[in-house]
Amino acid sequence: MAEGFPERYSRQLPIIGKEGQDKLRKATITIIGVGGLGGIVSYYLVSAGIKHLKIVDGDRVEESNLNRQILYSTDDIGKVKVEVAAEKLKRINPDVVIEPYHTLLSEDNVEEIIDKSTLVIDALDKWSSRFILNKACVEKKIPLIHGGVEGLLGQLIVIIPGKTPCLKCVLPKKPPEKRGLPILGPTPGIIGSMQALEAIKFITGIGKIQAGIVILFNGYNNEIRKIPIRRNSKCPICGGINKHS
């Protein structure tokens, strides 16, 4: 067991080393949306021992959330999501500072919310909010890990501003908003786990970050496709950002 580290990290220290654990211990991560995806991502990042987690969500727990949103129980119905989530995450790892924001992400609050983040997780279900987040992360040069799910399908994109395509490069036109999408619980479980894994890899420096590609997961046949994506030099969001700046 590595000296100076709690026993709770003993099974990951052989993989990420003391250095990696130290990097996690200094990281601030902001998760926008603590539903199906955000619940999974926050659970693993807090368990892994990051320093500071900001969670942002304007919703309250509804019964229809419970087939996939693992931080919430039946007796949480009606309660403010970020408050329930903060309490549960704190019980998982009391060493992590959890900062809940009970608000909807908007152009007015996004900069303040993501400020000083090591990286940001897009666990949203609304495209308009995702594009607000993408723009702010590109402007502040904060890496963004996008995840999205529907039914048994999911996608993941790691965005490193100035180096890889941003969300607007990949989706020049905003896809139509769909509310109350059909979803099976394991789908956000898988994509959320992938987002958490990419976040831990990015911070600790292990493995290969899946940047510059879209990962498409199809739960009907367990197929995972990796599709290369390119920066659009005319992208209104990231087109002006130099690769090396």
Residue from the set 41, 85, 120, 169 that interacts with Zn ion by CB under 5 A: 169
Residue 235 engages Zn ion in binding (rule: CB under 5 A): yes
Tokens of 150: 């529907």
Interface with Zn ion (CB under 5 A), residue total 6
Distances (CA, A) of 2 to 45, 92, 202: 20, 21, 22
Residue 170 engages Zn ion in binding (rule: CB under 5 A): no
Q: Which C-beta is closer to Zn ion: that of 49 or that of 148?
A: 148
CA distance 143 to 122: 10
Of 44-52, 117-125, 163-171, 174-182: span binding Zn ion (CB under 5 A): 163-171
* SS3 (DSSP) at 30: strand
Of 28-36, 59-67, 166-174, 208-216: span binding Zn ion (CB under 5 A): 166-174
Residue 130 engages Zn ion in binding (rule: CB under 5 A): no
Q: How far is the CB of 127 from Zn ion (least distance, A)?
A: 15
Tokens of 176: 């139509």
Q: Which C-beta is closer to Zn ion: that of 61 or that of 166?
A: 166
Residue from the set 42, 69, 168, 197 that interacts with Zn ion by CB under 5 A: 168
* SS3 (DSSP) at 91: helix
Distances (CA, A) of 55 to 7, 34, 156: 26, 7, 19
Place of tokens 């087109």: 239
Residues in contact with Zn ion by the rule CB under 5 A: 166, 168-169, 235, 237-238
